[in-house]
Amino acid sequence: MTAPTTNLPATTPVTRQTFDEVMVPTYAPSTLVPVRAKGLDVWDQNGRQYLDFTAGIAVTSLGHCHPDVVHTLQQQAEKLWHVGNGYTNEPVLELARTLVAATFADRTFFCNSGAEANEAALKLARKYAAKNGHTHKTRIISCVNSFHGRTLFTVSVGGQPKYTEGFGPLPADLTHIAFNDIEAARAAIGDDVCAVMVEPIQGEGGVMPATTEYLQALRDLCNQHGALLIFDEVQCGMGRTGQLFAYMGYGVTPDILTSAKALGNGYPIGAMLTTNTVAAALVVGTHGTTYGGNPLAASVALTVLRTINVPSFLLRVKHASKTLILALQNLAQTYPHILGEVRGSGLLLGIQLTPGYAGRAKEITKLAEDQGLMLLIAGPDVLRFAPALIVSDEQIAVAADRLRAALAQIA
């Protein structure tokens, strides 16, 4: 047997170009390659500093390398990583107990991502109906422009046809309705519906908050037709709106809530929360995952949850939100031909581009990056702001200055 060809010498540096050579081409990452980060500061391969207003897509809500989170991970890494579902573990039990105490829920299921949390929620909704003898209740209602993840089930429930193109046949009995349209909901939700899934604030779909009336109408229609209401809080939960979960601000309680993203501050974990009655459908063997709720992920999430779910922390998010909204509205006044409405909640904010600049959000974020500001888009026409929740007023001012410089270039 011939020896395998040797690896490239370790001295050959990897660059952005390497991505195009060895990665599946499903992403188009920026030219900057981050190597190190602290708080909201990110440094690239050339040692250049950037201010991060993306938080890794609303994930690193306590900032990069938060000392308590790093400490927790280091401590747990020396203790116990993984045991499998034949055993439970202390961190996951603490995490579950803390989530249950903080929310409407009685029960939790842990997994590794937002898509998996939603997959669990959707499967549970079908199982719950079947277990209760309602075999005709298979339909799932969701909203146009929603985003629920990339597994076949969640991407099909998501309301963006471009993401399911070419992946058919898709799961059956899914209906998409216009977001925030109560009449459309009334027309679609009948006795064959097992669940309605909705993001209280559509994130990927353009930073569109639901109205309270809409969520309350969904709640009432679900009650009327024996359907479960599922809130996807993967992006808008975990303190992002200034409430631990967005439903708390709306005063409308779901039957199932999903969380991920900021729950682990960058360590992969997802959670599905539900009530005793609904959870009872997932008897032994009906659902599972190898890594879900492992001690490493659970210990990190517990520290994150304990840090975020503190009144003074959440109040600061609301203050920072006001400061950021004012700064963005100020920019919109300077550049009214580019920037339209500022919307969203807490530190999940979006600016709609004017029709004259439609489709140019990505271009603007590239120019902002040149000025040292990392930004997100939410579709082709919306700039999205999702900084770490620890963002300071000074950092908001710097971000506004850098974005102003970027807008000056395109104007």
Ligand X SMILES: *Cc1c(COP(=O)(O)O)cnc(C)c1O
Which chain residues interact with ligand X by CB under 6 A?
113-115, 118, 147-149, 199, 203-204, 232, 234-235, 260-261
Q: What is the three-class DSSP state of 375? A: coil
State the DSSP code for 245: S
Tell me the closest approach of the beta carbon of residue 73 to ligand X, in angstroms.
19
Cα distance between residue 406 and residue 366, in whole Å? 9
Tell me the closest approach of the beta carbon of residue 90 to ligand X, in angstroms.
25
Cβ proximity to ligand X, 72 vs 235, nearer residue: 235
Tell me the closest approach of the beta carbon of residue 27 to ligand X, in angstroms.
12
Tell me the closest approach of the beta carbon of residue 151 to ligand X, in angstroms.
8
Residue 232, Cβ density class (10 Å: 0-12 exposed, 13-18 middle, ≥19 buried):
buried
Cβ proximity to ligand X, 64 vs 148, nearer residue: 148
Q: Residue 54 carries which side chain, given as an amino acid letter?
A: T
Beta bridge partners, 342, equal 351
Contact present, 222 and 228 (Cβ < 8 Å): yes
Cβ proximity to ligand X, 267 vs 357, nearer residue: 267
Cα distance between residue 202 and residue 310, in whole Å? 25
Tell me the closest approach of the beta carbon of residue 411 to ligand X, in angstroms.
31
Query: Which own/partner pairs from 98-104 qualify as long-range (CB within 8 Å, at least 24 positions apart)?
Result: 98/302, 98/305, 98/306, 98/309, 99/271, 99/273, 99/305, 100/273, 102/244, 102/305, 102/309, 103/244, 103/245, 103/257, 103/273, 104/247, 104/253, 104/254, 104/257, 104/273, 104/275
Cβ proximity to ligand X, 271 vs 396, nearer residue: 271
Tell me the closest approach of the beta carbon of residue 117 to ligand X, in angstroms.
8
163: left (phi over 0), alpha (psi -120 to 50) or beta: alpha
Cα distance between residue 346 and residue 285, in whole Å? 39
Tell me the closest approach of the beta carbon of residue 112 to ligand X, in angstroms.
8
Q: Is the torsion defined by CA of 211, 213, 216, 217 positive or negative? A: negative
Cβ proximity to ligand X, 119 vs 255, nearer residue: 119
Cα distance between residue 274 and residue 284, in whole Å? 17
Tell me the closest approach of the beta carbon of residue 164 to ligand X, in angstroms.
15
Cβ proximity to ligand X, 336 vs 380, nearer residue: 380
Cβ proximity to ligand X, 259 vs 395, nearer residue: 259
Neighbouring CB atoms inside 10 A of 285's CB total: 6
Tell me the closest approach of the beta carbon of residue 203 to ligand X, in angstroms.
4
Cα distance between residue 48 and residue 41, in whole Å? 10
- The residue of the chain with the least Cβ separation from ligand X equals 114
Cβ proximity to ligand X, 61 vs 118, nearer residue: 118
Cα distance between residue 51 and residue 38, in whole Å? 10
Cβ proximity to ligand X, 164 vs 354, nearer residue: 164
Please state the separation of Cα 32 from the chain's center in Å: 23
